[in-house]
């Protein structure tokens, strides 16, 4: 079976480097928030061109703690796209704030700045711009809105490690940026992990307290804290993979280029790319009319496509009612019926990709 993403292939390819790094941690005897986490935080921040990176337990926690660092709580509103991975929105709920779900742009699938502007109220405390599938959101316009209304701008970079906007990487395009290192992400650990990236040193210090009981370096609590730490094993794996990130990104782009070229004459909508940015191609998502038929056709051939996402957040029971404020979401609702993700990960072979292309072509041309 060819899967949509396949982190095991990456482990197998770099097994000796990863095993050596893990073995070193196991023998060191320090397992949580130690030297590997510190080194990873420094290397990750420097790779992004940011001042501070704070390792945490997951991408969801990264979003939650980023909002806590700005004191977002019950009674506040946070604007986010409904067309995203659910944790973008569940993290808002964790703070007690109300998610205000807005539509996405029909070509790029990222949060629509016009919809954001219309959704701003006196209770709006933050906007979460999600770089969906690896495509950088329309940051210039959103940054301007956030600045004008004195709202915190948060980037959800969980799908955008390595994406760039002009000469900057995703991760330095907002007040605060959140990453996930879930195994299938562009930079994936071998377990849960996440990071928050910020330039403001005071916010960075607050985040270090929030992730561990509210403690300062003398173990004195200054705020309501949590337990959201990154462990040494994950940090050492992430260090190995970070050193390979540029080659991973290159391979993702190469595979996307081949899909673009080989599928351009079929009656499907290929991913658009903004011309001022580099798509990180976490996912290669096309729009088709007969989705379930195509999905089953590919599955019969041994190709397991993905669907990101069959339901938008506002369509799920939890957020269908009063737990979220809804706006016009017709683009989102159309997308949930047509999107399908083709297999794409750095270790996908040319041969397997050719088979996927041929299978897709045979579905349309026979
Ligand atoms: C994966 C993901 C998250 C959550 O990350 P976890 O590490 O699974 O908690 C948040 N937002 C988006 C857009 C994601 O894709």
Residue pLDDT tens, the chain, 366 long: 999 999 999 999 999 999 999 999 999 999 999 999 999 999 999 999 999 999 999 999 999 999 999 999 999 999 999 999 999 999 999 999 999 999 999 999 999 999 999 999 999 999 999 999 999 999 999 999 999 999 999 999 999 999 999 999 999 999 999 999 999 999 999 999 999 999 999 999 999 999 999 999 999 998 999 999 999 999 999 999 999 999 999 999 999 999 999 999 999 999 999 999 999 999 999 999 999 999 999 999 999 999 999 999 999 999 999 999 999 999 999 999 999 999 999 999 999 999 999 999 999 997
Query: First-to-last CA distance in the chain?
Result: 23
* C-alpha dist (Å) from residue 360 to 24, 295, 337, 344: 45, 10, 18, 15
pTM for this predicted structure = 0.98
Q: Coil, helix or strand for 285?
A: strand
Identify the DSSP state of 306.
Answer: B
Res 341: pLDDT = 98
Cα torsion 254, 256, 259, 265 to 10°: value is -120
Q: Tell me, which fold does domain 245-365 have in CATH?
A: 3.90.1150
- How far apart are alpha carbons 166 and 154 in whole angstroms? 19
Query: CB of 156 closer than 6 A to ligand 1?
Result: yes
Q: Tell me which CATH code domain 10-242 carries.
A: 3.40.640.10
- How far apart are alpha carbons 258 and 175 in whole angstroms? 35
Cβ-count burial 181-209 (b if 16+ within 10 Å, e if not): bbbbbbbbbbebbbbbbbeeeebbbbbbb
Give the atom of ligand 1 at the shortest distance from the alpha carbon of 194. 7
Query: CB of 130 closer than 6 A to ligand 1?
Result: yes
Give the sheet arrangement for strand 164-165, strand by strand.
168-169, 164-165, 277-278
Which residue from 62, 63, 85, 90 has its CB within 8 A of the most atoms of ligand 1, so it is best to mutate? 85
Res 366: pLDDT = 73
- How far apart are alpha carbons 133 and 320 in whole angstroms? 24
CATH 3.40.640.10 residue ranges of the chain are 10-242
């Amino acid at each position: 079976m060819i899967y949509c993403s396949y982190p095991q292939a990456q482990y197998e390819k770099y097994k000796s480097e990863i095993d050596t790094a893990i073995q070193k941690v196991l023998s060191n005897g320090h397992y949580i928030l130690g030297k590997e986490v510190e080194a990873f935080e420094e290397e990750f921040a420097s790779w992004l061109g940011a001042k501070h990176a704070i390792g945490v337990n997951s991408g969801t926690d990264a979003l939650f703690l980023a909002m806590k660092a700005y004191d977002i709580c019950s009674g506040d509103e946070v604007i986010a796209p409904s067309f995203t991975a659910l944790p973008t929105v569940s993290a808002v709920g964790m703070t007690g704030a109300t998610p205000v779900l807005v539509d996405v742009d029909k070509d790029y699938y990222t949060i629509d700045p016009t919809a954001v502007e219309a959704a701003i109220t006196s209770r709006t405390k933050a906007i979460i711009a999600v770089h969906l599938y690896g495509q950088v959101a329309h940051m210039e316009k959103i940054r301007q809105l956030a600045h004008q209304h004195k709202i915190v701008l948060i980037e959800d970079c969980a799908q955008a490690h390595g994406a760039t906007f002009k000469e900057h990487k995703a991760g330095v395009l907002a007040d605060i940026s959140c990453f996930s290192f879930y195994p299938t992400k562009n930079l994936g650990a071998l377990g849960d992990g996440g990071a928050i990236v910020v330039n403001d040193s005071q916010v960075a210090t607050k985040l270090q307290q929030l992730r561990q009981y509210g403690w300062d370096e003398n173990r004195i609590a200054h705020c309501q804290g949590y337990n959201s730490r990154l462990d040494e094993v994950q940090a050492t794996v992430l260090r190995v993979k970070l050193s390979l990130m540029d080659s991973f990104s290159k391979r993702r782009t190469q595979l996307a280029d081949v899909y673009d070229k080989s599928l351009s004459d079929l009656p499907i909508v290929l991913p658009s790319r903004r011309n001022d940015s580099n798509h990180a191609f976490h996912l290669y998502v096309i729009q088709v009319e007969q989705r379930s038929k195509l999905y089953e056709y590919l599955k019969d051939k041994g190709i397991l496509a993905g669907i990101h996402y069959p339901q938008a957040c506002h369509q799920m029971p939890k957020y269908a009612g009063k737990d979220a404020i809804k706006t016009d979401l017709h683009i989102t609702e159309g997308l949930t019926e047509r999107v399908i993700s083709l297999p794409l990960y750095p270790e996908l072979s040319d041969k397997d990709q050719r088979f996927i292309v041929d299978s897709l072509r045979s579905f349309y041309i026979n």
